[in-house]
Structure 1
Amino acid sequence: MQLGNRRHLEGKLEGGLFLKKLIVQNFKGFAERTTIEFFPGIGALIGPNGCGKSNVVDAVKWVLGAQKVSEVRGDKMNDLIFNGSATTTSHHYAEVEIVFDNSAKVFSLPQQEVSIARRLYRSGEMEYLINNEQCRLKDVHYLLLDTGLGRLDYSIMAQGSVSKILESSNTQRMRLIEEAASISKYRERHREYERKILKVTENLKHIEILYSNITKRKNALQKQTQASQGYFKIKKLLKHLELFQNLQTLKAIEKKQNTNHNETQQINQKLQALSTLIKQQTTRSEQLDQSAAKASDILQNETFKFKNELSVLHEKQKFLSERHSERTLELATQTKRIKQIEKNLHASKQTVATTEKSALHHEKILAHTRKELEGIRSALVVCQNNRKNQETIIATLEGDIAKNNALIDSERKTLDAIPELLFKDLEKLFPLSKLLAQEKKQKDPQEKLRSQLETLSQELHTTLENHLRNLLSLDPAAYKTALKTSFSTLKATTTQKINALKAKCTSLIDRDSNVTGIVKVIENVYRKKDVILSTLQTKITTAQKFQSKLKQAQKDLKKIGASKETLTVTQAKIEKKIAALNETIAPLRTDLARVKHYQTEQQADYDHYQKINSTLKTSIAGLIEQKKAIAVAITKTNVQAKTTTAKWIATRKNEKLSHTKLKNLKKNIGTLEQKYQKLNKQRYELSAQTNIFANEYKTLLEHTETYLDENLLDYRTRPEATKTLIKNSFITQEILDQISDRNPKPPISPPAAAPTHSAPTEQSQSMPKDSSALKKTNLSINLKTLTPRQLAKLIQICRDRLSGHNNINPLAEEELEEIAEEYSRIAKERLDIKNSLKNLSVLAQQVNRQSKKIFAKTFKQIAKNFKHIVKELFEGGTGNLAFKSHPNPDQNQIIISVQPPGKDVQNIDLFSGGEKTLIALALMFAIFKTKFSPFCILDEADAALDDENISRFLKLLKAFQRQTQILIISHNRKTFHAFDYLYGISMREGMSKIFSLKTDPSFATEETTISNPKHHHLNETTTS
C-alpha cells in the first residue's frame, strides 16, 4: 500500500469530528515529549511485547477523563509519571494532550482546533485544560457529551476487554447502549433535576418547620390578644368601680378630718397642763442633783487623792523590787561572764604561747633555709665565675682551633699539591719506561725493570688517589685514621719496592749508563716523600693535641652547664621552700596578732565588767535603803486610808438617800414624759392622717377630673360604649348574687338606649355632684344603691379575675401584626417551593419519558444492526438483542442470543474464544453503526481470531473507515494488509520510542521487518 492511498482518504470522514494529534510527555514509558499524528482510515501500532503499545491507549483514556487507576492499568496515580531509567532521571509531572479538528463544529466552541489536556503532579495535584485554559473535569465531560466519546465504553477496546463485553453485567450493557443512544445528556438532566428536587425538598422541609413554628406562634399570639383584650376590659371596669369607691372614701375622710381636728385641740390642752407639771418636777430634781453632785465631787476628790498616792507608792515598791531582781540577775550574769572571760584569757594565753613557740620554730627553720640559700647563692656565684673562666678558655681554645684549622687547610692544600707533583714525577718516569721498552728488545733485565717501574707508578697512583679521597672527607676521625694507615702502608710498600728497585738498579748500573738518571729521579722522589710525610705527621699530632684539648674543654663546659642547671634547680626548690615557709608563717603571724588583739579585748571587757560589778553592788545597797523608806511611807498611808474610808462610808450613806429621792422624781418625770409623748404622737398621727387624706383627696379629685375630661367626649360621641362594656364584661347575675349579702338584689336597669345630650336619664339626674362623671358610663348597676361592702366585694372579684390572668402579654397585638407579615411571606414561599417541586418532578418525568423513548428507538436500531453484522461475521446464522424491562430501572436486562450456522448453543459461555470475540465485535460495531464515534482504538482485538475470521474482521473495518478513524494494536501479520499508515514502538534504555512507517513507492530499494513484500520508509516521530 502506498502513501497516496492515505492522502486519498484525508478530509473525507463522514462523522464530522477528526482526531489530529496525541501529545504525550512523561506518561508511563514516554520520557520525552512525543507527538503521534492521526489520519483518516485505518492505522496500526506494532511492536514487541512490553514496549508500551497499550500505554498509548491508556493515554487516550486518561486524557478524556478516566478516573479509576485500574482503567489505565495502575495501582496509584503516581505510577503514571515516568519514574526514570538508567540514563534518564525521573520527572515531577505527566501530561497528555489530545487535539481534534473542530471544523464541523461538533464541539460547542468557535475554534477550528480543540485541544484537551490533563496534567498530573507528583504531589497529587491534577489539572485539566481546554485550549490551554484551566477547567474542571465536569467541563470536559460536558464538552464530550453526545460526541461518542462520553464514556469511551465502545470507542476504545483495551487489551482483553473485547470478550468482557459479553461477560459484563446488565447495568454495563445498559450504559453502553445509553451512550450510543446519546441519552447521557438526558441522564445528566435527570440527575440535575433529581439534585434540584432533593435540594427543593430540603428547602421545603426547612420552610415547613418555619411555617409550623410561625403558625404555632401566630395561634399563641391570637390567644394572648384575646386574653389581653378581656384583661383590659376588666381593668377598665375596675377603674370605674375604684373611682366611685374613691369618691365615697373622700367624703368619709372629710368627716373624719373634722372629728380629728376637735380631738387635737383637746390633746393640746392636756399637753400644756402636763408640760407645766414636768417643768416643776424638773426644777426640783435639778436642785437635788446639784446638792448630790457637790457632795459626791468632794468625796470623789479625796478618795481620788488617796488612791493616787497609794498607787504611786505601790508602783514605786513594785519598780524597786523589779529593779532589785533585775540587778541581782544582772550581777549573776556578769559574774558568769567574768568567769568565762577568765577561762578565755587562760586559753588565749596558752594559744599565744603555742603560737609563739611555733613561730620561733618556723623562724629558726627560715633562718636555716636562708643560710642554705646564701650558701647556694655563693656556690652559684662561684659556678658562674667558673663558667666565665671556662668560657674564656673555650674562647681561646676556639681561637687556637681556628688557627689549627687554618693550618690544616694550608696543609690540605699542600697535600692537594702532592699528587700533582707525584703525577709530574711519574710523567717524567713514563718516558723512561718508554726508553726501557725500546731497550727491551735489546735486554731482558731492562724490560723487567721497566715493567716493575710501571707497576710501581700505577700502584703509587692508585694508592695516592684512594688516600687523597679519604683525606678530603670531612669526618675528623676518618681523616686521622686515613692519614695513619695511608702513610704507614705507603711508607712500608714504597720503601720495600724502592729498596728492591735500588738493588736491581745497582745491578743494572753496570749495564747501562742511562739507568743512572732514572735512579736519581727516583731518589729525589723518595726524599721529597719522606719530608712531606714527616711534616704531615707533625701536623697530625698537633691537630690531635688541639682536638683532645677541644674535647676536654667541651666536656668541662658540659659539666659547668650541668652544675649550673642543678644549682638553678636547687635554687628554685629552696625559693619554693622559702615561699612555702612564708605562706605557713603568714597565717601564724596573723593568728598571733589576732590572739593578742583578742587577749587585749578580753582584758578590757574584764576590767569593764569589774567596774560594772562594783557599781551594781553600790546601787543594790542604795535600793535596799530606799525599800526600807518606802515601807515606812506605806504604813503611814495605810493609816490615812483607813480614816478616809470611814469618812467615805458616811458620805456614801447620805448619797444613797439622795439617790432614792432622785429616782422617785425621775420616775414621775418619766411617766409624765411618756404621757406627753403619747399625746404628741397622737397629735402627729392625726396631723399626718389629715395631710395624707388631704393629699389623697387632691389626687383623687385631679385623677377623676382628668379621667372624666378624657372620657367625656368618648362617652358622648359613642353612646354604644356602655352597651358593649355591659355585654362584654363578666358581670353576670351570679356575680350580682355574690355581692348582694343575702339582701334583695340591687336594682339592675336594662341596657339603656343611647342617651342624647338634651335629655339625660333619671339615674344620671339622681347621682350626686361628685359622681356626675360616672353617669356617662351608663353602667347597668346603680352604684349609688350599693353599700361600701358590696362595692368592695365587686372590686375584689374584679381584682381576682385580673390576678387570674398571670401571663398577659400587653404587646401581643403588636407582635401579631408584626408576625402576620412574616407568616404571609413564609406561606407564599412555601407555596412557591411546592409549585417548583411539582414542576421539577414533571420535568424529570418528561426527561425520563423522552430518554426511554430514545433508548427504545436506539435499541431497536442496534438490535437490527447486530442481526446484520452477525450474519456478515459468521457468514450466516442469527443474532438477537432483547430488552427485558423491570419496574426498578437497575434490574433491566439486555439478553444477547446468537446462533451460528450449524450450531444450536443456548448459552453464550459455551462459545469458543474466537466466537465470543466475533459476537463482542458484532455488538460493538452495531453500536458504531447506530452512533458513530470520532475514532475507535482496538487493542489486540484480533488476538483470538484465526486467518479466516481476521479477513471477515478486516472487511468489516473497511466498511467503517469512511465514518471513523480506526487504530489497531496487533501482532497478527495478516491484519497489517488493511492498514493505511503504521507506527512502530520500541523500547530503548527503559523509554518507549515511536517510529512512523510510511508506504511510498519511491523507497523501493529498502526493506522492512514486516512480513509482506511491500517496501516502506522508516521515520522517527516528532519529539520535542
Structure 2
Amino acid sequence: MHLKRLELVGFKSFAEKTILEFPAGVTAIVGPNGSGKSNIIDSIRWLLGEREAKNVRGLKAEDLIFAGTNSRPRLSLGQVTLVFNNANQFFPVDYNEVAVRRRVSRDGTSDYFLNEAQVRLKDIIDFFAKARLGTKGFSIINQGDSDVFVRSTPQERRVMLEEMLGLRQYQLKKHDAMNKLKSTRINLDKALALLEEMMPHLRMLRRQTSRWEKQESLEKELRELEDKYFIHKYQAIISEGKDVKPELESINNAISQKTKELKELQERVRGVEKETPAESENFEKAREQRRELDESKSKLQKEFGRLEAQLEFYSEKNESMIDPEKMIDFLDSSRSSIEQLLDEEDMYEIKSFLTEYVQEIDALMNSKGSLEDDEKIEVIEKAKKRIDNEIEALDEKIKQLSESEHKQASHYQSFNKTLRAAFEEFEAKKDEISRLEGQKNKITIEQERMIMHREELEKELRQAGRTLEEFKEKQLSEQTDISSTERVIYKLRSELASIGEVDQAVVQEATETEERFTFMKGQSEDLEKALHDLEELINELDYKIHSEFQRAMKKINDEFESHFKMMFGGGTAKMTVQKSSTKVNVTEDGEIITQSEEGDQKHAYDHGGIEIDIAIPQKRVKGLDMLSGGEKSLVSIAALFALISVSPPPFLVLDEVDAALDEQNTRRFASLVKDYGKKTQFVIVTHNRATMEAAEILYGVTMEEDGVSKVLSMKLDG
C-alpha cells in the first residue's frame, strides 16, 4: 500500500484543483518560503483526522479555506482527498483503490467520505490507526518539529511509539471501552439507587395487593371451571335442539299432508250426504205404507173370520139377518172403493174405508132380512169370496211394497255403509292428525324447555360476566362431572365475595411499579454484565498493548543505538520505560489523562513513559536539554529510523526535518531516506540538495499570483 495521489480544492492557498501524484518511493517538495509547501503537509495531517486548527497553522476552521485575493473571490469550501493504492489489501476493505476525503465549510462543519460513502471522524481515525497512521506519532513531522521526539514528555513519546507500532487502534478501543465503562457505572449506580428507593414502596404495595393476587388466582380457577360448566350446558342445549328439529319438521310435513287429505275426504262426505234425505224419506214412507197395509190386511182377515163364523151359524140356523141385495150392493161398492184406494196407495184412506166397511157389514149382519137361510148363505159366500179376493189383492200389493221396501233398504244399507266408511276414514284422519298434533305439542314443549334452558344459561352467563359467543366454538377436552364442577363454582364465587372489592388504582400502581422494578432490575443486571464485559475487554486491551509494546522495545532499542551511532559517529543511546506509580490513559486524540483525572485505578494499566539515555562521543551530556538544536534533531531522526526499522509505516510526511542539520548529517539523513524509501514511502519538504537527490519525483511549489499556490513536477533519474 502507498499514497497514490493527493487532490486539493480550495484548501488554504490552493484555490484551484491541484493534483500531486506520488511514487512508491521518495517525493520531495521544494519551493521558496511562503509559497505554500507546508500547506501540502497540513492538508495531509488535516485529512488524517487532525481536530485542532492550530496544529495545521490556523486559528479556526475557516482559516483552512481559500480566503480569496484581489482578483479571486474567496471559496465557501475547502476539500482534501487522499487516494491510496490498496492492491495488497493493506487497508481492511475490498477495494484496490481507497479514496479518503474531508471537506470543510466556513461554518466550521466538516464532512468525511470513504470511497464516496459518508462516515464519521471517528471512523476515519480508526481506519488510519489500523494502518499505523495518525497525527500523534512520527507519521507526520511538521516544520520546526524535527526534534519533537526529544522535546516531548515521556508519556507523549510513548503515544508516538504506540501509533508507529500500530497499538493506537487498541488504545482507541480501550478509550471507547473506558468511556462506556464510566457511563455504564453511572447508569448502574442510578439503577441501583432507584431500585433501593422503590423497594419500600413496592413492599407496601405488595402487601396491599395480596388480596388482589388471591382474587386473581381464584378468578382464574373460576374461569377455567366456568368454561367447562358453560361449554357442557351449551353443548347439551345444542344437542337437544339437534334431536327435535328434524322430528318437528317431519311432523309438520305429515300434519300438512294429513290435513290436505282430510279436506279432500270432507268434500267427498259432503257429496254423499246430499243424497241422504231423499233416499231415507222414500225408504221410511215405503215401510210405513207396508205396515199400514199389514194392519188393514189383519183387520180384513179378522172380519173374514167373523163372516165365516156367521156363515156357519146361519147355515146351521138357516136364518138370514142380512139383506142379500144390500150386502151385494155394499160389497160391490166396497170392492170398487178398495181397488181405488189400492191404486192410490193411500194408507190412511184405505184404513178409513175399511173401518166404515166393517161397520156397514156389522149393520147388515145385525139387520133382519126376509131372505131365506140358503140365500143368506149364498150371499155371505159371495161376500166372503169377494173379501178373500180383496185380501189376496191386498197381499199382492203388500208383497210389492215389501219388495220395494227391501230394495230400498238394501240400497239404503249400501249407502249407509259407504257413508259410514267415509265417516270412519274421516274420523281416522282426524285421530291421526290429533296424534300428530300431540307429538308436535310434546316436541314444542321440549323446544320451549330448551329455550328456557338457553335463557337460564344466558342469565347465568350475564351474572358471571360472560357471553354465549365465547363458547360456541369451544369443545370439552375431557369428561366433566357437572355436579361437582357446579359445587366448586359456587364455592369459589363465595370465596370471591368474601374478599370483596379491591382498589384497582392500588392494583394498577402495584402492577406498574412491579413492572418498572423488574425492568430496572433487569437493566441493572445487564449493566453489571456489561460492566464485567467492559472490564474484561479493558484488561485484555491493556495486556495486549503492554505485551506488544514490551516486545517491540528491545528491537527498537537495538535499532535506536545503531542509528544513533550512525548519526553521531559513536556513543550510546537507549530508551527505557518509566516505572511510575502514576498510571495513565490516552484519549483518541492522544491526550494523556493521569489516574487522578480518570478516577479508575482498577483498570488503568501501568503504561510508563519513555526516557531517553544517550552518551555522545567526546561530550558529557547530563540531560537532553543540554543538546543543541541539531543534536536534538539527530536524536529524533535516529529514533524515527529505529521505529521505521521495527514497524515501517505506509508513508511518512516530513516537513524540513533536515533544516537544522549540517551538510554531513544532511547527507546521512538523505542516505537513510533513500535506503528506507524502498519499503516506506516518503513525502519530504526540503531545501537541501542532498535530500532532493534522494527523491524520485520533485514537486516545485510557487506563488505566481499573490495568495495562490501552483505546483510543478519533475521526475528525477536514478
TM class by shorter chain equals 0.5 to 0.7
Cα separation, 2, equivalents of 1:228 and 1:127: 60
Cα separation, 2, equivalents of 1:138 and 1:964: 26
Cα separation, 2, equivalents of 1:815 and 1:67: 51
* Cα-to-partner distance string for 1:649-682 (whole Å, 9 max, x where unaligned): xxxxxxxxxxxxxxxxxxxxxxxxxxxxxxxxxx
Task: Quickly say closer, same or farther: Cα 1:909–1:202, change in 2 above 3 A.
Answer: closer
Alignment check: 8 A CA contact 2:126 2:172 kept = no
Bigger radius of gyration: 1
Q: Say which SS state the counterpart of residue 895 (structure 1) adopts.
A: strand
1:976 alignment partner in structure 2: 692
Cα separation, 2, equivalents of 1:824 and 1:33: 61
2:657 alignment partner in structure 1: 941
2:14 is the counterpart of 1:30: yes
* Cα-to-partner distance string for 1:990-1009 (whole Å, 9 max, x where unaligned): 121111122369xxxxxxxx
1:292 alignment partner in structure 2: none
Q: Say which SS state the counterpart of residue 28 (structure 1) adopts.
A: coil
1:865 alignment partner in structure 2: 559
2:145 is the counterpart of 1:161: yes
TM-score (norm 1): 0.38
Q: Select the residue among 157, 160, 163 that pairs with 1:173.
A: 157
Cα separation, 2, equivalents of 1:51 and 1:941: 18
Alignment check: 8 A CA contact 2:65 2:75 kept = yes
Q: Say which SS state the counterpart of residue 660 (structure 2) adopts.
A: coil
1:998 alignment partner in structure 2: 715
Alignment check: 8 A CA contact 2:29 2:37 kept = yes
**Residue type at the aligned position of 1:47:** G
Task: Quickly say closer, same or farther: Cα 1:980–1:812, change in 2 above 3 A.
Answer: closer
Alignment check: 8 A CA contact 2:137 2:161 kept = no
Cα separation, 2, equivalents of 1:226 and 1:31: 79
Task: Quickly say closer, same or farther: Cα 1:985–1:827, change in 2 above 3 A.
Answer: closer
1:529 alignment partner in structure 2: none
Q: Say which SS state the counterpart of residue 134 (structure 2) adopts.
A: coil
Task: Quickly say closer, same or farther: Cα 1:962–1:821, change in 2 above 3 A.
Answer: same
Q: Say which SS state the counterpart of residue 689 (structure 2) adopts.
A: coil
Bigger Cα displacement from structure 2, 859-868 vs 937-946: 859-868
Alignment check: 8 A CA contact 1:166 1:916 kept = yes
Alignment check: 8 A CA contact 2:112 2:121 kept = yes
Q: CA RMSD in A?
A: 3.1
Where in structure 2 are there 5+ consecutive unaligned residues?
Answer: 214-486, 496-501, 585-593, 595-607
2:25 is the counterpart of 1:41: yes
Cα separation, 2, equivalents of 1:828 and 1:126: 40
Alignment check: 8 A CA contact 1:61 1:152 kept = no
Where in structure 1 are there 5+ consecutive unaligned residues?
Answer: 1-16, 230-712, 722-807, 1002-1024
2:570 is the counterpart of 1:854: no
Q: Select the residue among 38, 50, 60 that pairs with 2:44.
A: 60
2:56 is the counterpart of 1:72: yes
Task: Quickly say closer, same or farther: Cα 1:119–1:228, change in 2 above 3 A.
Answer: closer
Task: Quickly say closer, same or farther: Cα 1:811–1:882, change in 2 above 3 A.
Answer: same
Alignment check: 8 A CA contact 1:61 1:72 kept = yes
Cα separation, 2, equivalents of 1:822 and 1:79: 53
Task: Quickly say closer, same or farther: Cα 1:955–1:208, change in 2 above 3 A.
Answer: same
**Residue type at the aligned position of 1:902:** Q
2:129 is the counterpart of 1:140: no
2:4 alignment partner in structure 1: 20
Task: Quickly say closer, same or farther: Cα 1:837–1:988, change in 2 above 3 A.
Answer: same
Cα separation, 2, equivalents of 1:968 and 1:824: 63
Cα separation, 2, equivalents of 1:58 and 1:214: 57
**Residue type at the aligned position of 1:31:** A
Cα separation, 1, equivalents of 2:114 and 2:511: 57
**Residue type at the aligned position of 2:683:** L
* Cα-to-partner distance string for 1:386-441 (whole Å, 9 max, x where unaligned): xxxxxxxxxxxxxxxxxxxxxxxxxxxxxxxxxxxxxxxxxxxxxxxxxxxxxxxx
Task: Quickly say closer, same or farther: Cα 1:159–1:809, change in 2 above 3 A.
Answer: same
Q: Say which SS state the counterpart of residue 187 (structure 2) adopts.
A: helix
Q: Say which SS state the counterpart of residue 35 (structure 1) adopts.
A: strand
2:610 is the counterpart of 1:916: no
2:528 is the counterpart of 1:834: yes
1:107 alignment partner in structure 2: 91
* Cα-to-partner distance string for 1:573-606 (whole Å, 9 max, x where unaligned): xxxxxxxxxxxxxxxxxxxxxxxxxxxxxxxxxx
Task: Quickly say closer, same or farther: Cα 1:121–1:831, change in 2 above 3 A.
Answer: closer
Deviation at 1:820, TM superposition (A): 5.4
Cα separation, 2, equivalents of 1:817 and 1:152: 55
Alignment check: 8 A CA contact 2:136 2:160 kept = no
Q: Say which SS state the counterpart of residue 974 (structure 1) adopts.
A: helix
2:614 is the counterpart of 1:898: yes
Cα separation, 1, equivalents of 2:717 and 2:577: 50
Cα separation, 1, equivalents of 2:121 and 2:60: 19
Cα separation, 1, equivalents of 2:572 and 2:530: 50
2:97 is the counterpart of 1:121: no
2:569 alignment partner in structure 1: 875
Task: Quickly say closer, same or farther: Cα 1:43–1:813, change in 2 above 3 A.
Answer: closer
Deviation at 1:179, TM superposition (A): 0.8
Aligned length, in residue pairs? 414
2:569 is the counterpart of 1:886: no
Q: Map 1:328-343 to 2 at 5 A.
A: none
* Cα-to-partner distance string for 1:324-358 (whole Å, 9 max, x where unaligned): xxxxxxxxxxxxxxxxxxxxxxxxxxxxxxxxxxx
Cα separation, 2, equivalents of 1:864 and 1:158: 27
2:200 is the counterpart of 1:209: no
Alignment check: 8 A CA contact 1:866 1:880 kept = yes
1:243 alignment partner in structure 2: none
Alignment check: 8 A CA contact 2:129 2:163 kept = no
Deviation at 1:859, TM superposition (A): 2.6
Cα separation, 2, equivalents of 1:48 and 1:211: 70
Cα separation, 2, equivalents of 1:78 and 1:51: 20
Q: Say which SS state the counterpart of residue 83 (structure 2) adopts.
A: strand
Cα separation, 2, equivalents of 1:939 and 1:810: 77
Cα separation, 1, equivalents of 2:573 and 2:638: 9
- Structure number with the higher helix fraction is 1
* Cα-to-partner distance string for 1:98-150 (whole Å, 9 max, x where unaligned): 11001111112212111111122223332222222322212211221221213
Cα separation, 2, equivalents of 1:999 and 1:846: 49
Larger RCO: Structure 1 or Structure 2 (Cα < 8 Å, ≥ 6 residues apart)? 1
1:389 alignment partner in structure 2: none
Cα separation, 2, equivalents of 1:223 and 1:119: 64
Cα separation, 2, equivalents of 1:75 and 1:811: 63
Cα separation, 2, equivalents of 1:814 and 1:82: 66
Cα separation, 1, equivalents of 2:510 and 2:65: 69
TM-score (norm 2): 0.54
Q: Map 1:420-499 to 2 at 5 A.
A: none
Deviation at 1:227, TM superposition (A): 12
Q: Say which SS state the counterpart of residue 194 (structure 2) adopts.
A: helix
